[in-house]
Amino acid sequence: MLDKVGLRKLVNENCSLLSILIGTVLVSFSIGPYQNLDTQLEYQAALGVIKWGLPYVNSIGNMVNQPPLGFYFEALFFRIFGASIYTGTTLVTLFGIGSTVLIYKIGKELYDKPTGLFATALFALTPWELVLSRSFLIDAQCLFFSLLCLSVGILAIRKGSVKLILLSGVFFAIALLTKLFAAFILIPLLLFYLYYRPKNPRRILSQFAAFCFPALLFVFLWYQVILGKGLLYIFNNGDFSALNPAGVVTSPFFIGTFLNEFGLGFFFILAAVFSLLICFSFRKTFSKIFVFDLICLTTIVIILGVDFFLSADLNLSAPYIGAVKYDYQSLPFFSLLAASLTGKSRTLLKSAKIKMQLKKLFFFSTALTGVILLAAAIFYSIYVAHVLSTFNYLQLRVESNLNTGYSFFNSSPVGNYSFLMFLQYLGFIFVLFGLVWASRRNLGSLLRLRIRQRFTESKSTYN
């Protein structure tokens, strides 16, 4: 049990994270819920679990065309708190908050605490996350269990624990039976495992078996034993058969259009790219985190590449229109990449204390650019999230000049001078306070270094 001193210490150590989480909750509950045909279908599937014990939509035998586990979580929540679209959206939001915490833990584990905090804020404030965490869809659940699998998996690999690997496999199985997009989390987990270069063949086999067993068991029980359809039925999804209408040509830039206009925003993308450029340019300086940047980059490229292949090469409609869902598992890795600018800028600021004036200016300018890009990414996300929250209809377009994209209706848009707007602004203030409080020492160092440089320049001019 924590005493008052221990509790006070815990709060002080996690003040920034708590502030960001409180702000995220306030902003989230000021928005939505967002609804469309998919949210209605998934709501009916959750009600089907309550009524018939299986995720049927409207009638017996009309099984929802998705893995089942998410609907059982939702049905349990409905049993406790009552069935409504608002109750269900609250559960989805809680999963979104859980993902935010897990991104902090992963960022802290791979990089450092400030990176974890900034990744948390970047992730939570993007319109991408805010919309999906306020929609009755299983995507937020899937991402939560995927990140839980990755978080436990990283710990298991570092400790060499078969028990933890088995636990990570259980979370992966849960994520996979929530939505097939969970398969994307295997990319960073496998790369991280290879980075540690396991050498004992017997141990490799035992770890592989421990991780795979829960997923194979869960899939077998559901698709073979309960449904009697066979294991390959897991791939029987309408998304893999519905083609684009005749005359619709998939633009090669549709993913970039979505990421720039609705997913991340220009400054967020630029921050992630600039972070990579710094790491590649100063590879020796950032040798300890270079591999983590590479893992994030590889994961992003593969996820976006799969979406592009399904949309452009196979001409499938769902991956094209629904880029907001198909690319969702890349969002945490974009956040980690951009947020790692905090540690990189701090390292470059320390390097700016060297005596060579030209190099000092270069290091300082690079560090300052990183800080500015991070700040711009956060403030732009706040601006876009606020503007979109005032719309009663939202289309996340994948083509700039066409009405092509995934659409939502917002039954409770934020009005001017309303309580929801006050709640939203208060949430933004909490998030920004958490970031400023976490960065207070680094901002002080940046300010002192700049004053020292100006003083040196003035002294040189006077002499």
Could you tell me how far CA 290 lies from the centroid of its own chain?
Answer: 20
- The pLDDT of residue 459 is above 80: no
The pLDDT value recorded for residue 173 is 95
The pLDDT value recorded for residue 32 is 79
Rank 78-82, 278-282, 361-365 by mean pLDDT and report only the highest: 78-82
The pLDDT value recorded for residue 355 is 52
Separation between Cα atoms, residue 293 and residue 5, nearest integer Å: 38
Where does residue 247 rank: exposed (0-12), middle (13-18), buried (19+ CB within 10 A)? Answer: exposed
437 contacts 430 by C-beta, under 8 angstroms: no
The pLDDT value recorded for residue 361 is 76
- What the block records as the tokens of 430 is 């909490």
The pLDDT value recorded for residue 462 is 47
The pLDDT value recorded for residue 441 is 66
455 located within any domain:
yes
74 located within any domain:
yes
Where does residue 182 rank: exposed (0-12), middle (13-18), buried (19+ CB within 10 A)? Answer: buried
Which tens digit of pLDDT belongs to each residue from 271-286? 999 999 999 988 888 8
Mean pLDDT score, 82-107:
94
Name the pLDDT band for 177 (thresholds 50, 70, 90): very high
152 located within any domain:
no
Name the pLDDT band for 166 (thresholds 50, 70, 90): very high
Alpha carbons within 13 angstroms on the beta-carbon side of residue 390 total: 11
- What the block records as the tokens of 191 is 């790369």
Burial 364-389 (b: 16+ CB within 10 A, else e): bebbbbbbebbebbbebbbebbbebb
Name the pLDDT band for 6 (thresholds 50, 70, 90): low
This prediction's pTM: 0.91
189 located within any domain:
no
DSSP H stretches of helix in 282-356: 287-308, 317-321, 323-326, 331-339, 341-351
The pLDDT value recorded for residue 349 is 78
- The pLDDT of residue 135 is above 50: yes
The domain tally of the chain equals 1
Identify the residue with better confidence: 65 or 353: 65
Which tens digit of pLDDT belongs to each residue from 292-312? 999 999 999 999 999 999 998
88 contacts 46 by C-beta, under 8 angstroms: yes
- The pLDDT of residue 4 is above 90: no
Which tens digit of pLDDT belongs to each residue from 384-419? 999 999 999 999 988 888 888 899 999 889 888 889
Tell me what the pLDDT averaged over the chain comes to: 87
181 located within any domain:
no
- The pLDDT of residue 121 is above 90: yes
Where does residue 305 rank: exposed (0-12), middle (13-18), buried (19+ CB within 10 A)? Answer: exposed
The pLDDT value recorded for residue 445 is 57
The pLDDT value recorded for residue 248 is 79
- The pLDDT of residue 5 is above 90: no
432 located within any domain:
yes
164 located within any domain:
no
- The pLDDT of residue 12 is above 70: no
Percent above pLDDT 70 for the chain? 90
Mean pLDDT score, 41-67:
90
- The pLDDT of residue 238 is above 90: no
202 located within any domain:
no
Q: Which domain holds residue 129?
A: 4-137+237-462
The pLDDT value recorded for residue 38 is 92
Mean pLDDT score, 24-36:
91
Could you tell me how far CA 120 lies from the centroid of its own chain?
Answer: 9
